[in-house]
């Protein structure tokens, strides 16, 4: 694992713990020599994680769509800034660069990016683990939903294990580095209508 893509809010959120966690993750990535790949802006938790990685001497690759760069949201201080044509292209480039994914607290975009990355791994389109930095229980409800999806036979247990969670950035990165990913069809009931 050499590059980690981080999905997170373009807002700071209601709790100071979210920014502290973003800074800790950025610093931890840099300390471990792991490149940060992220959405390329200077705002919200995205700006915090990038800033912390850069301050700690890390390499940061930002990927931002032209429409957001035109609004002066691009982080001009990153190691490498890639401006792409669309949000779809942004996600494809970020996924292509990354070996693993981590979601900090965030909103709809963060959830969409994380679940798409997990679905791509589930479908065998990539072999990359996903992690939730579960700051102050932010993702508890999502983890419960994923467990419910397993119990109700929409997700296999091995596919549920694609999404790891921890409150500590270092432990989460350790778990991602050691993750064993399934090579099993996502279809559970092929013989039932």
Across 33-55, average pLDDT: 98
Helix (H, G, I), strand (E, B) or coil at 130: strand
Is there a contact between 133 and 104 (Cβ–Cβ < 8 Å)?
Answer: yes
Residues 17 and 115: their CA atoms lie apart, in Å, by 23
Residues 63 and 131: their CA atoms lie apart, in Å, by 20
Q: 182: pLDDT confidence band, cut at 50, 70 and 90?
A: confident
pTM: 0.94
For residue 190, is pLDDT > 60? no
pLDDT in tens, 72-114: 999 999 999 999 999 999 999 999 999 999 999 999 999 999 9
The percentage of residues in the chain with a pLDDT greater than 90, rounded to a whole number, is 92
For residue 192, is pLDDT > 80? no
For residue 117, is pLDDT > 80? yes
For residue 11, is pLDDT > 60? yes
Q: What is the pLDDT of residue 183?
A: 79
Q: What is the DSSP code string of 69-91?
A: HTTT-B-TTSSEEEEESSHHHHH
Q: H-type helices in 32-136, by residue range?
A: 44-55, 66-69, 87-97, 108-122
Closest alpha carbon to 104 in 192, 31, 166: 166
Average pLDDT, the chain: 95
The percentage of residues in the chain with a pLDDT greater than 70, rounded to a whole number, is 96
For residue 193, is pLDDT > 50? no
Q: 3 pairs with which residues across the strands? A: 35
Residues 69 and 78: their CA atoms lie apart, in Å, by 14
The CATH class that applies to domain 3-136+150-177 reads alpha beta
For residue 186, is pLDDT > 80? no
At residue 168's C-alpha, the angle toward residues 21 and 45, to 5°, is: 20
CB-side neighbour CA atoms (13 Å) of 12: 10
Residues 173 and 171: their CA atoms lie apart, in Å, by 5
Q: 181: pLDDT confidence band, cut at 50, 70 and 90?
A: confident
From the number of C-beta atoms within 10 Å of its C-beta (0-12, 13-18, 19+), residue 190 rates as exposed
Strands in 80-84's sheet, in edge-to-edge order, are: 80-84, 60-65, 35-38, 3-7, 100-103, 130-133, 163-166
Give phi and psi for 109, each to the nearest 5: -65, -40
């Amino acid at each position: 694992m050499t590059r980690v893509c981080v999905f997170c809010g373009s807002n700071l959120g209601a709790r100071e713990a979210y920014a502290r966690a973003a800074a800790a993750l950025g610093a931890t990535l840099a300390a471990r020599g792991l490149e940060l790949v992220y959405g390329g802006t200077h705002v919200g938790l995205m700006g915090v994680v990038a800033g912390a990685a850069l301050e700690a001497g890390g390499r940061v690759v930002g990927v931002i769509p032209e429409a957001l760069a035109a609004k002066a949201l691009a982080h001009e201080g990153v190691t490498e800034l890639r401006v792409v044509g669309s949000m779809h292209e942004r996600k494809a480039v970020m996924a292509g660069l990354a070996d693993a994914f981590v979601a900090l607290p965030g909103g709809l975009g963060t959830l969409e990016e994380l679940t798409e990355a997990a679905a791509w791994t589930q479908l065998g389109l990539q072999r990359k683990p996903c992690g939730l930095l579960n700051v102050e229980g932010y993702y508890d409800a999502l983890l419960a939903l994923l467990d419910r999806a397993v119990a109700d036979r929409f997700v296999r247990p091995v596919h549920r294990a694609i999404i790891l969670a921890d409150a500590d950035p270092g432990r989460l990165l350790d778990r991602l580095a050691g993750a064993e990913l399934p090579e099993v069809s996502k279809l559970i009931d092929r013989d039932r209508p």
